[in-house]
Amino acid sequence: MVKRKPNEQPAGLPIWLQTYGDMVTLVLTFFVALYAMSSLDQHKYDQMSNSLRMALSGGAGNGNIGVLKSGKSIVETGLAPVTSNPRMGEAEAQAWQNMYSSVKSVIDQNNFHGRVEVSYSEYGITISFKEKSFFQIGSADILREAYSLLNEVGTTINKQTYPIRVEGHTCDLPISNSRYPSNWELSVMRAVNVAKYLIESVKMAPDRVAVAGYGQYRPIVPNTNEENRARNRRVDIIIINSFYNHQEGQSRGIQNGKQ
Protein backbone atom coordinates (compact mmCIF):
# COMPACT_ATOMS: atom_id res chain seq x y z
CA MET A 1 0.00 0.00 0.00
CA VAL A 2 1.24 3.44 -1.00
CA LYS A 3 1.43 5.85 1.91
CA ARG A 4 0.73 9.61 1.43
CA LYS A 5 3.55 11.90 2.33
CA PRO A 6 2.87 14.02 5.44
CA ASN A 7 2.89 17.34 3.51
CA GLU A 8 0.93 16.09 0.53
CA GLN A 9 -2.40 18.05 -0.06
CA PRO A 10 -5.57 16.45 -1.46
CA ALA A 11 -6.54 17.15 -5.04
CA GLY A 12 -8.46 20.38 -5.79
CA LEU A 13 -8.20 23.98 -4.61
CA PRO A 14 -6.20 24.72 -1.50
CA ILE A 15 -8.34 25.25 1.60
CA TRP A 16 -7.04 28.80 2.12
CA LEU A 17 -8.09 29.77 -1.40
CA GLN A 18 -11.68 28.66 -0.79
CA THR A 19 -11.85 30.78 2.36
CA TYR A 20 -10.33 33.73 0.52
CA GLY A 21 -12.90 33.40 -2.27
CA ASP A 22 -15.77 33.43 0.23
CA MET A 23 -14.40 36.57 1.85
CA VAL A 24 -14.05 38.38 -1.50
CA THR A 25 -17.64 37.47 -2.38
CA LEU A 26 -18.93 38.85 0.92
CA VAL A 27 -16.98 42.09 0.51
CA LEU A 28 -18.29 42.51 -3.04
CA THR A 29 -21.87 41.92 -1.85
CA PHE A 30 -21.39 44.50 0.90
CA PHE A 31 -20.26 47.21 -1.53
CA VAL A 32 -23.04 46.41 -3.99
CA ALA A 33 -25.55 46.87 -1.14
CA LEU A 34 -23.95 50.19 -0.20
CA TYR A 35 -24.20 51.39 -3.79
CA ALA A 36 -27.83 50.34 -4.03
CA MET A 37 -28.67 52.21 -0.83
CA SER A 38 -26.94 55.36 -2.03
CA SER A 39 -28.94 55.24 -5.27
CA LEU A 40 -32.32 54.69 -3.57
CA ASP A 41 -34.97 57.25 -4.42
CA GLN A 42 -35.60 59.39 -1.33
CA HIS A 43 -39.37 59.40 -1.76
CA LYS A 44 -39.51 55.61 -1.99
CA TYR A 45 -37.17 55.33 0.99
CA ASP A 46 -39.45 57.59 3.07
CA GLN A 47 -42.50 55.54 2.12
CA MET A 48 -40.76 52.28 2.98
CA SER A 49 -39.42 53.54 6.31
CA ASN A 50 -42.79 55.00 7.33
CA SER A 51 -44.57 51.77 6.48
CA LEU A 52 -42.07 49.70 8.43
CA ARG A 53 -42.18 52.06 11.39
CA MET A 54 -45.97 51.92 11.67
CA ALA A 55 -46.07 48.19 11.06
CA LEU A 56 -43.52 47.44 13.76
CA SER A 57 -45.20 49.80 16.22
CA GLY A 58 -48.69 48.53 15.49
CA GLY A 59 -49.77 52.01 14.43
CA ALA A 60 -49.84 53.19 18.04
CA GLY A 61 -47.64 54.89 20.59
CA ASN A 62 -45.27 52.98 22.80
CA GLY A 63 -46.98 54.07 26.01
CA ASN A 64 -44.10 56.26 27.17
CA ILE A 65 -44.90 59.75 28.41
CA GLY A 66 -43.52 62.49 26.18
CA VAL A 67 -44.38 65.95 24.95
CA LEU A 68 -45.66 66.10 21.40
CA LYS A 69 -44.05 68.49 18.97
CA SER A 70 -47.16 70.55 18.32
CA GLY A 71 -47.97 71.69 14.81
CA LYS A 72 -47.07 75.23 13.88
CA SER A 73 -49.97 77.64 13.79
CA ILE A 74 -50.70 78.84 10.28
CA VAL A 75 -51.65 82.19 11.74
CA GLU A 76 -48.19 82.48 13.29
CA THR A 77 -46.22 81.42 10.22
CA GLY A 78 -48.40 82.87 7.51
CA LEU A 79 -47.94 79.67 5.53
CA ALA A 80 -50.66 77.56 4.01
CA PRO A 81 -50.69 73.94 5.25
CA VAL A 82 -50.02 72.63 1.75
CA THR A 83 -46.57 74.23 1.67
CA SER A 84 -45.34 71.73 4.25
CA ASN A 85 -46.29 68.66 2.21
CA PRO A 86 -44.81 68.65 -1.33
CA ARG A 87 -46.25 65.17 -1.95
CA MET A 88 -49.72 66.63 -2.51
CA GLY A 89 -50.98 67.13 -6.03
CA GLU A 90 -52.11 70.58 -7.14
CA ALA A 91 -55.83 69.76 -6.90
CA GLU A 92 -55.52 68.31 -3.40
CA ALA A 93 -53.31 71.18 -2.30
CA GLN A 94 -56.02 73.65 -3.31
CA ALA A 95 -58.72 71.59 -1.60
CA TRP A 96 -56.56 71.45 1.53
CA GLN A 97 -56.12 75.21 1.50
CA ASN A 98 -59.88 75.68 1.09
CA MET A 99 -60.51 73.34 4.02
CA TYR A 100 -58.26 75.29 6.35
CA SER A 101 -59.67 78.63 5.21
CA SER A 102 -63.22 77.39 5.78
CA VAL A 103 -62.49 76.15 9.31
CA LYS A 104 -60.69 79.38 10.14
CA SER A 105 -63.62 81.44 8.82
CA VAL A 106 -66.08 79.51 10.99
CA ILE A 107 -63.96 80.20 14.07
CA ASP A 108 -63.64 83.90 13.21
CA GLN A 109 -67.28 84.47 12.29
CA ASN A 110 -68.64 82.72 15.38
CA ASN A 111 -66.05 84.12 17.78
CA PHE A 112 -64.90 80.66 18.82
CA HIS A 113 -61.44 81.97 19.73
CA GLY A 114 -60.19 80.60 23.04
CA ARG A 115 -62.37 77.50 22.66
CA VAL A 116 -60.70 75.89 19.67
CA GLU A 117 -57.29 76.03 17.99
CA VAL A 118 -56.30 75.04 14.46
CA SER A 119 -52.84 73.83 13.46
CA TYR A 120 -51.24 71.66 10.82
CA SER A 121 -48.61 68.97 10.70
CA GLU A 122 -47.38 66.29 8.32
CA TYR A 123 -50.55 64.30 9.09
CA GLY A 124 -53.07 66.99 8.20
CA ILE A 125 -55.11 69.70 9.91
CA THR A 126 -55.73 69.42 13.66
CA ILE A 127 -58.75 71.12 15.22
CA SER A 128 -58.20 71.10 18.97
CA PHE A 129 -61.17 71.65 21.31
CA LYS A 130 -60.40 72.70 24.87
CA GLU A 131 -61.94 70.73 27.71
CA LYS A 132 -63.57 73.70 29.44
CA SER A 133 -65.68 74.37 26.33
CA PHE A 134 -66.85 70.78 25.96
CA PHE A 135 -66.86 68.84 29.22
CA GLN A 136 -67.04 69.21 32.94
CA ILE A 137 -63.93 67.99 34.73
CA GLY A 138 -64.02 64.20 35.04
CA SER A 139 -66.98 63.84 32.66
CA ALA A 140 -67.30 62.69 29.04
CA ASP A 141 -70.79 64.16 28.48
CA ILE A 142 -70.70 66.97 25.91
CA LEU A 143 -71.95 70.30 27.27
CA ARG A 144 -74.95 71.80 25.48
CA GLU A 145 -73.09 75.04 24.79
CA ALA A 146 -70.61 73.02 22.72
CA TYR A 147 -73.24 71.84 20.25
CA SER A 148 -73.13 74.98 18.10
CA LEU A 149 -69.34 74.77 17.85
CA LEU A 150 -69.45 71.11 16.85
CA ASN A 151 -72.25 71.77 14.36
CA GLU A 152 -70.42 74.60 12.62
CA VAL A 153 -67.01 72.94 12.49
CA GLY A 154 -68.44 69.50 11.70
CA THR A 155 -70.55 70.83 8.82
CA THR A 156 -67.47 72.50 7.35
CA ILE A 157 -65.42 69.31 7.62
CA ASN A 158 -68.25 67.30 6.10
CA LYS A 159 -68.01 69.24 2.83
CA GLN A 160 -64.88 67.21 2.05
CA THR A 161 -64.35 63.46 2.11
CA TYR A 162 -61.03 63.23 3.94
CA PRO A 163 -60.92 60.68 6.77
CA ILE A 164 -60.81 62.07 10.29
CA ARG A 165 -59.59 60.75 13.62
CA VAL A 166 -61.09 61.97 16.90
CA GLU A 167 -58.54 61.80 19.72
CA GLY A 168 -59.21 62.22 23.44
CA HIS A 169 -56.48 63.50 25.78
CA THR A 170 -56.28 64.22 29.51
CA CYS A 171 -53.73 65.72 31.88
CA ASP A 172 -51.73 63.67 34.36
CA LEU A 173 -54.06 64.09 37.34
CA PRO A 174 -55.44 60.64 38.23
CA ILE A 175 -59.13 59.85 38.07
CA SER A 176 -60.97 56.90 39.57
CA ASN A 177 -64.73 56.60 39.77
CA SER A 178 -67.45 54.12 38.86
CA ARG A 179 -67.67 55.36 35.25
CA TYR A 180 -64.01 55.99 34.46
CA PRO A 181 -61.48 53.89 36.39
CA SER A 182 -58.58 55.76 34.75
CA ASN A 183 -57.71 58.50 32.27
CA TRP A 184 -57.70 55.89 29.50
CA GLU A 185 -61.45 55.35 29.78
CA LEU A 186 -62.18 59.06 30.15
CA SER A 187 -60.17 60.04 27.08
CA VAL A 188 -61.68 57.26 24.96
CA MET A 189 -65.28 58.08 25.93
CA ARG A 190 -64.79 61.78 25.22
CA ALA A 191 -63.54 60.94 21.74
CA VAL A 192 -66.37 58.44 21.22
CA ASN A 193 -69.04 60.96 22.22
CA VAL A 194 -67.65 63.62 19.88
CA ALA A 195 -67.45 61.09 17.04
CA LYS A 196 -71.03 59.93 17.68
CA TYR A 197 -72.23 63.52 17.62
CA LEU A 198 -70.55 64.12 14.25
CA ILE A 199 -72.12 60.95 12.84
CA GLU A 200 -75.61 61.33 14.30
CA SER A 201 -76.11 65.10 14.25
CA VAL A 202 -73.82 66.33 11.47
CA LYS A 203 -74.50 63.20 9.37
CA MET A 204 -70.84 62.44 8.79
CA ALA A 205 -70.23 59.07 7.12
CA PRO A 206 -69.20 56.55 9.83
CA ASP A 207 -66.54 54.97 7.61
CA ARG A 208 -64.67 58.28 7.60
CA VAL A 209 -64.37 58.42 11.38
CA ALA A 210 -61.83 56.73 13.65
CA VAL A 211 -61.55 57.14 17.43
CA ALA A 212 -58.55 57.01 19.77
CA GLY A 213 -57.94 57.77 23.44
CA TYR A 214 -54.45 58.44 24.78
CA GLY A 215 -55.08 59.30 28.41
CA GLN A 216 -52.34 61.55 29.77
CA TYR A 217 -49.63 60.07 27.56
CA ARG A 218 -49.57 62.58 24.70
CA PRO A 219 -49.37 66.03 26.28
CA ILE A 220 -48.64 69.05 24.08
CA VAL A 221 -46.93 70.85 26.99
CA PRO A 222 -45.39 69.50 30.22
CA ASN A 223 -47.87 68.94 33.06
CA THR A 224 -46.00 71.30 35.38
CA ASN A 225 -48.85 73.65 36.35
CA GLU A 226 -52.62 74.00 36.08
CA GLU A 227 -52.45 76.21 32.99
CA ASN A 228 -50.50 73.54 31.11
CA ARG A 229 -52.76 70.77 32.38
CA ALA A 230 -55.77 72.67 31.04
CA ARG A 231 -54.14 72.82 27.60
CA ASN A 232 -53.49 69.08 27.65
CA ARG A 233 -57.12 68.26 28.47
CA ARG A 234 -58.54 68.37 24.97
CA VAL A 235 -60.25 66.55 22.11
CA ASP A 236 -58.55 66.76 18.72
CA ILE A 237 -60.22 66.24 15.37
CA ILE A 238 -57.50 65.45 12.85
CA ILE A 239 -58.37 65.74 9.16
CA ILE A 240 -55.93 63.26 7.64
CA ASN A 241 -54.29 64.05 4.31
CA SER A 242 -54.22 61.46 1.55
CA PHE A 243 -50.48 60.71 1.82
CA TYR A 244 -50.59 59.80 5.51
CA ASN A 245 -53.86 57.93 5.04
CA HIS A 246 -52.13 55.91 2.31
CA GLN A 247 -49.27 55.11 4.68
CA GLU A 248 -51.71 53.90 7.35
CA GLY A 249 -53.44 51.76 4.73
CA GLN A 250 -50.14 50.18 3.74
CA SER A 251 -49.36 49.50 7.40
CA ARG A 252 -52.71 47.79 7.92
CA GLY A 253 -52.08 45.70 4.81
CA ILE A 254 -48.71 44.56 6.13
CA GLN A 255 -50.20 43.67 9.52
CA ASN A 256 -53.11 41.77 7.96
CA GLY A 257 -50.65 39.85 5.82
CA LYS A 258 -48.89 38.65 8.95
CA GLN A 259 -52.09 37.24 10.45
SS3 state of residue 51: helix
Instruction: Please report the pLDDT score of residue 35 as a whole number.
Output: 62
Mean pLDDT, residues 89-117: 85
Instruction: Please report the pLDDT score of residue 120 as a whole number.
Output: 80
Interval 34-54: pLDDT, tens: 666 655 555 555 554 554 444
pTM greater than the 0.85 cutoff: no
Q: Where are the domains of the chain?
A: 71-258
Interval 155-198: pLDDT, tens: 999 998 899 999 999 999 999 888 999 999 999 999 999 999 99
Interval 133-151: pLDDT, tens: 999 989 999 999 999 999 9
Instruction: Please report the pLDDT score of residue 59 as a whole number.
Output: 42
Interval 22-37: pLDDT, tens: 777 777 777 666 666 6
CA distances for 146 relative to 59, 78, 135, 141, angstroms: 31, 29, 9, 11
Among 40, 95, 44, smallest CA distance to 247 is for: 44
CATH architecture of 71-258: 2-Layer Sandwich (3.30)
Instruction: Please report the pLDDT score of residue 237 as a whole number.
Output: 96
Confidence of residue 219 (pLDDT cuts 50, 70, 90): very high
Q: Mean pLDDT score of the chain, rounded to an integer?
A: 76
